[in-house]
Structure 1
Amino acid sequence: WLGLEHGVPSHDTFGRVFAQIDPVQFEAGFYRWVRESLPDRPAAGVIAIDGKTARRSGDPQREQSPLHLVTAYAVEQRLVIGQNAVGSKANEITVIPALLERLVLKGQVITIDAMGCQRSFAEQIVAGGGDYVLAVKGNQGALLEGVVDTFALAPQDTEVDIVEHQTIDKGHGRLETRTCAVIADPAVIAWLNPAQQWPGLQSIIRITATRASASAPLAVPTTSTRYYISSLPPDAVRLNQVIRSHWAIENEVHWVLDMIYREDSSRVRRGYAQQNLAVIRKLTLNLLKSTPNPKKRSLRILRKRAGWSMDILFDMLGLT
């Protein structure tokens, strides 16, 4: 521990220090710690990649955009394993290759939303020994049209098999029915991927989710349909699980950063401070998630207990 013979540094001193720390080196230290502390990943584990903006970190008077970070999350271990900063959400695709380069892709399934549906990303993931599940939307118009038409016409073609799996879940006052439909017919895949632009493409997927109010049965249900491409074989059960697990990065990382760490309320704007603080937030989030928690205390309570008791803090830091 530091002696701090001149007392605890002030709020402004912390701000100046974090504003000057090289974020590349700081993040490199985070990556090293993650690699050393991350337990062995299961075969075919899921890594979800998604972006989030620290909404109040921008400064309109200085024409400074809010900080946007693209994060990688190991779903089974519930640990953040990487992040890269980018100027805005529109530029996410410029930093995803560097983030993928830092990750151990072999044996892992990488899930990315529609912004990440890029041929180069699919190639990079497959070359690294991983698999991909990529959302398909309007930014890949021709591909989306082909996938939608395939699912629309497939029931009329007796030679095209559709593998389906359905789940029904009740929670948070809602009843949700999810149907995962998968087509992996070689002729269909060859038609969609004539020049092998999408390396390793094996399956196209349609997820249809119908949500109804559990407490108001007369309410009109809502239905949404999403489409995906994947290098995984046509296992509808597995693909349904993988696609659903992508939402863990929203619920277990982004929501926690907003509601518990109040990241969106942070107005730190000087230098690299916000980017470096984001690393610290995720480092502490990993520590909290890795702490044995037999009483199932919330992350908010675990944070408070670490602040109240040095013994608990030392235990979380592995210093006991």
Structure 2
Amino acid sequence: MRGTRNSIFEAIHVVSAWSNKQGITLAALESVGKSNEIKTIPKLLDIIDIKNATITTDAMGCQRAIAQKIMDKKGDYVLQVKGNQKCLNTEIQAFYHKARREGFIGIEHDFFEEVTKGHGRIEQRIYHHVALTDWMESTQQWEGAKTIIRAERKRIINEKESTEVSWYLSSLDVDAKHAGHAVRGHWGVENNLHWRLDVIFREDECRMNSGAMSMAVIKRFCMNLLTTKDNTKRGMKHRVMAAAIDDDYREKVLMSV
């Protein structure tokens, strides 16, 4: 919440648990600084039921303690591996390239590919889901680690092509379609929560400090109501406006079961 920063206080950071399937916020906690999100995520997991759910996080959340917490609560994880886990990242890529050179002989693996078009661009996503073997020593320290996921994204925008490859450590059994949906679904929190909070609910413009976290929770709660109580195709911006000026609509959102 950038607007809460001033000469005395640092900006408030909020960590949210987002249900991509339902399109709602399950819980939100304040994090003391962005670097402390690592300590906040386990606390967030403690207050929600994640049994049989697949949990994804940003690369910052790729921590052994978080993987342990998810497994303890009977969930599964897909954690992006980047520079903050340099040794793990290097070993995962080395394992994958070795296995590919050898034709993945004796290693369970699966492919899933999808192509989408829209807004002037074509995007191809290729997911390769590969089971771990004893060759991977570092992953043995990660509770529940079974597989790695290689996600390759090719985009064509205005005849310009770009390619991006991301790597993930997962407790899922080999199923590239499921893994691909988990990887792509992670961005639901950016598009359907963070973007709406910034653009529609103007969260970054909120300059209050005292009570700012309470206001953050209220905004998420209002968004949940507008998502679950209105099954029309109208956008979130129009739902917010309707709730402000239409008494019947507001009553429907607040009172309907």
Write the distance in 1 (CA, Å) between the matches of 2:201 and 2:40: 25
Aligned to 1:208: 152
Confirm or deny that 1:98 pairs with 2:35. Answer: no
Deviations 1:13-39 (A, max 9, x none): xxxxxxxxxxxxxxxxxxxxxxxxxxx
Deviations 1:178-230 (A, max 9, x none): 111121043345x343xx311111110111111111xx33x3x1111110001
Contact 2:109 2:174 survives alignment (8 Å) = no
Aligned to 2:243: 306
* Paired AA for residue 248 in structure 1: G
Aligned to 1:263: 203
Aligned to 1:315: 252
Q: Aligned to 1:177, which of 115, 124, 127?
A: 124
Write the distance in 1 (CA, Å) between the matches of 2:34 and 2:182: 24
Write the distance in 2 (CA, Å) between the matches of 1:127 and 1:227: 24
Q: Report how far residue 173 of structure 1 moved.
A: 1.3
Aligned to 1:40: none
Q: Report how far residue 265 of structure 1 moved.
A: 1.1
Aligned to 2:61: 116
Aligned to 1:137: 82
Aligned to 1:243: 183
| Structure 1 portions without partners, runs of 5+ | 1-53
Write the distance in 2 (CA, Å) between the matches of 1:253 and 1:171: 21
Query: Secondary structure of 2:74's partner?
Result: coil
Query: Secondary structure of 1:186's partner?
Result: coil
Q: What root-mean-square deviation, in Å, do the aligned CA atoms of Structure 1 and Structure 2 show?
A: 1.5
Q: Report how far residue 94 of structure 1 moved.
A: 1.4
Write the distance in 1 (CA, Å) between the matches of 2:47 and 2:231: 30
Q: Report how far residue 92 of structure 1 moved.
A: 0.7
Write the distance in 2 (CA, Å) between the matches of 1:290 and 1:172: 27
Query: Secondary structure of 1:233's partner?
Result: coil
Deviations 1:256-284 (A, max 9, x none): 00110011111112x2x111100110000
Judged with a 3 Å threshold, the aligned counterparts in structure 2 of structure 1 residues 300 and 231 are, in CA distance, closer, same or farther, namely same
Judged with a 3 Å threshold, the aligned counterparts in structure 2 of structure 1 residues 76 and 319 are, in CA distance, closer, same or farther, namely closer
Q: Report how far residue 319 of structure 1 moved.
A: 5.5
Aligned to 2:226: 288
Write the distance in 2 (CA, Å) between the matches of 1:151 and 1:107: 27
Q: Report how far residue 65 of structure 1 moved.
A: 0.8
Deviations 1:146-199 (A, max 9, x none): 01111222221132454221111111211111111121043345x343xx3111
Aligned to 2:98: 153
Which has the higher mean CA deviation after the structures are superposed, 82-91 or 282-291? 82-91
Write the distance in 1 (CA, Å) between the matches of 2:102 and 2:176: 20
Write the distance in 1 (CA, Å) between the matches of 2:166 and 2:123: 15
Aligned to 2:167: 227
Write the distance in 2 (CA, Å) between the matches of 1:185 and 1:310: 57
Give the 4+ runs in structure 1 shifted more than 4 A: none
Kindly name which structure, 1 or 2, has the bigger radius of gyration based on alpha carbons.
Answer: 1
Aligned to 2:143: 199
Write the distance in 2 (CA, Å) between the matches of 1:210 and 1:243: 15
- Which TM-score applies when normalising by structure 2? 0.95
Aligned to 2:111: 164
* Paired AA for residue 145 in structure 1: T
Confirm or deny that 1:126 pairs with 2:71. Answer: yes
* Paired AA for residue 268 in structure 1: M
Query: Secondary structure of 2:152's partner?
Result: strand
* Paired AA for residue 170 in structure 2: S
Query: Secondary structure of 1:107's partner?
Result: coil
Write the distance in 2 (CA, Å) between the matches of 1:246 and 1:233: 18
* Paired AA for residue 130 in structure 1: G
